[in-house]
Chain A
Amino acid sequence: MGGTVDLSVDIGGMRLRNPVMTASGTCGYGEELAPYMDLRRLGAIVVKGLSLKPRPGNPPPRMTEVPSGLINSIGLQNIGVEAFVRDKLPSLMDLGVPVIANIFGEDVEEYCLLARRLDGSGVAAIELNISCPNVKKGGMEFGRIPEEAHDLVREVRRATGLPIITKLSPNVRDIKEMAMAVEEAGTDAISLINTIPAMAIDVERRRPRLSSIIGGLSGPAIRPIAVRMVWEAYQAVKVPIIGVGGIMGASDALEFVIAGACAVQIGTATFIDPAVCEKVLKGIEEYMDRHGIRRFVDLIGSLEVS
């Protein structure tokens, strides 16, 4: 990095060297990406969603391509929190980059157990997945109803001293209402958006493209929706916002930042180019140089609307 610009940013007590993170579920447990990029360049690593017990995930087919997007229904396949802490976390921590554990439970108690288990484990923060469309119980339910989300965050807040990032679903009546509910319950930050429930059909066979019929849409197709929701949330809450949704390059990331995000997560683009996070970071620096902006934080919410 050039060193001429200050990319650092604070999120819920975490000091990040820069605002570029991986998005949960797109970088495995970090190690899968290591052959393709220097993971130490990341602002933070957000790992695949963890549950108390290992989960096998959904039967294939789990993924289908649509114009400028991807519908997936992986079903939160993961090795479980114990194996993660024991087998994956130590080498991840050696990188010296904050590790954010995305967690998922079927009820409030499971979320609390997970949060408690990770307290003191070495992870820098937890991200609550209250919005996965690909599991039958929990997840999405919390993410749809502000009161439920509020109560969940409040209980997790009591269970852990770790910074909490709550990942919001776009599948809500009003994103501002959701953001305010989890802010009031004590979340340290919010990330948005998770995937958008979607469906594709093979017309020749008259069959759904995914075994679970409905999956979550990600990729550039959803970016304008995500930017709009970040902008709306930014006007409603004070907690830091992490923008996610179809970021393919630096200018996409900057859209989120200018709309009010203080950091971004990159997901689907990693599938196409596993080194994309470095490119985005470099592009943000170049932009700041070009516009004479020395501190990244000055860009956050700098949208001019008059």
Chain B
Amino acid sequence: MKRTLSKVIYNRGISPSYHLLGLRWEGRIDPGQFFMLRPWSFDRFDPLLNRPFGVYRVFEGGIEILYKVVGRGTRIMTGLKEGDEVILIGPLGRGFPFMEGWEEVSIVSGGVGIAPFYHLIQWIREKGSFPALSLYHGGRGEEDLVGIEEFERAGVTVNIATERGTRGYRGLISDLFKRDLEKGKVRPSAVLSCGPKGMLKEVALICRERGIPCYVSLDRMMGCGIGTCLGCVVRTKGGYQRVCMEGPVFESEEIVWEEL
């Protein structure tokens, strides 16, 4: 069954707003898939709904979720303690594609949008596949640059942009990525992206102009995560599609960006 009662292994802050949550889980997960998590008891109805989370890392007997405190739900989540029981549903949805022929892959992420990519790298390495990998990660400042070292250790070329200019390129990560494409510093066979809506749109446009296949992971408010409520739909060229079932990863050309 894809619905389990999981136990919290650890829950710790790694920066003022970013936290890592370790949960008991066993099974196969495709990179880019997500879980619905109820970070509070079933009997607590405010907040009412479960929350979707990507998988940051998979380890023996568990998964690790990287989350950022952005609202009431995630604030309550920081109170989870070792041994707490939580409803965990998943893995759900369709993750990132990975094609054997890809020689170079660029990842563009913003803020907590970095979350699904560490697992993707883990997975690519375990497959014994070694395309050239570059990460373009952006944030407001230093606080949004968590986990970067792990990507470096995994042999990924890391490029940073911060809006406040505290580290790396000063400005938007999509601008840095575009500049590097123009300079020929990267020549990706495909681009994978996750982060704020504005960044995704920009990345999709950059890829469209150059004919580079681009896959984006969308983050939407979800009612159920399992395809029943139809609350998380996005407009695609083929009509409304559920982010939880047909996504969360879509080919960027499928999305009707003006309506996102």
Check B234–A220 contact: CB distance below 8 A. Answer: no
The reply on B12 being an interface residue by CB < 8 A is no
Whether, in the assembled complex, B87 has its beta carbon less than 8 Å from a beta carbon of chain A, the answer is yes
Q: Does A242 count as interface, using CB distance less than 8 angstroms?
A: no
Residues on B close to A: CB < 8 A? 1-3, 38, 42-43, 45-50, 87, 89, 220-221, 223-224, 226-235, 239-240, 259
Chain B's closest residue to A62 (CB) is B231
B230-A77 in contact (CB<8A) = yes
Is the CB–CB distance between B233 and A26 below 8 Å? no
Cα of A63 to Cα of B222 in the assembled complex, Å: 8
Interchain CA distance A296-B259 in the complex, whole Å? 50
Whether A274 touches B226, Cβ cut-off 8 Å, given contacts A65-B48, A69-B48, is yes
The answer to whether A26 touches B48 (Cβ under 8 A) is no
- If A57-B240, A62-B233, A77-B240 touch, whether A271 touches B227 (CB-CB below 8 Å) is no
Stretch at the interface among A31-39, A116-124, A141-149: A31-39
A73, chain B: closest CB distance, angstroms: 9
- A114 adjacent to chain B (CB < 8 Å): no
Please state if A65 and B47 are interface contacts (CB–CB under 8 Å). yes
Pick 10 A–B contacts, CB within 8 A, sort by A. A57-B233, A61-B221, A62-B231, A69-B48, A74-B231, A219-B45, A220-B45, A272-B49, A273-B38, A275-B1
Which one, A59, A62, A69, contacts B230 given CB within 8 A? A62
**How far is it, in angstroms, between the C-alpha of A72 and the C-alpha of B223 when the chains are bound?**
9
Among A33, A65, A66, max chain B CB count under 10 A is at A65
A103 on interface, CB distance cutoff 8 Å: no
Q: Mark A60-80, 1 if CB is under 8 A from B, else 0.
A: 111111111110101001000
Query: If the complex has contacts A35-B1, A56-B240, are A64 and B48 also in contact, measured as CB distance less than 8 A?
Result: no
| Minimum distance in angstroms from B245 CB to a CB of chain A | 8
Given contacts A33-B228, A68-B48, contact A273 B1 (CB under 8 A): no
- A274–B49 CB distance below 8 A: no
**Could you tell me which A residues sit within 8 Å of B by CB distance?**
25-28, 32-33, 35-36, 56-57, 59-70, 72, 74, 77, 219-220, 248-249, 268, 270-275
**Nearest A residue to B233, CB-CB:** A60
Nearest CB to that of B245 among chain A residues? A32
Q: Known contacts A36-B1, A274-B89; can you find 5 more A-B pairs with CB under 8 A?
A: A62-B233, A63-B232, A65-B48, A67-B48, A274-B226
A272 CB contact (under 8 Å) in B2, B38, B230: B38
* Complex: A108 Cα to B3 Cα, angstroms: 42
Judging by beta carbons under 8 Å apart, are B48 and A272 in contact? yes
The CA-CA distance from A290 to B217 in the complex, in Å, is 50
- Whether B50 and A271, one on each chain, are in contact in the complex, defined by CB atoms closer than 8 angstroms, is yes
Residues on A with beta carbons closer than 8 Å to the beta carbon of B3:
36, 273-275
CB of B233, distance to nearest CB on chain A (Å): 6
Given A61-B221, A272-B38, A274-B89, A36 and B226 contact (CB-CB distance below 8 Å): yes
A5 to B2, CA, bound (A): 30
Find B228's partner among A65, A249, A270 (CB 8 Å cutoff). A270
Top 8 A-B pairs ranked by shortest CB distance? A63-B231, A271-B224, A68-B45, A28-B228, A32-B227, A67-B46, A32-B228, A220-B45
B87, A273: Cβ atoms closer than 8 Å: yes
Question: Do the beta carbons of B235 and A59 come within 8 Å of each other?
Answer: yes
Nearest CB of chain A from residue B248's CB, rounded to whole Å? 14
A31 to chain B, nearest CB (A): 9
Name the distance in Å between B50's Cβ and chain A's nearest Cβ: 6
Distance to closest chain B CB from A2 (angstroms)? 22
Residue of A nearest to B3 (CB): A36
Q: Are A56 and B48 in contact (CB under 8 A)?
A: no
Query: What separation, in Å, do the CA atoms of A192 and B217 have in the docked complex?
Result: 39
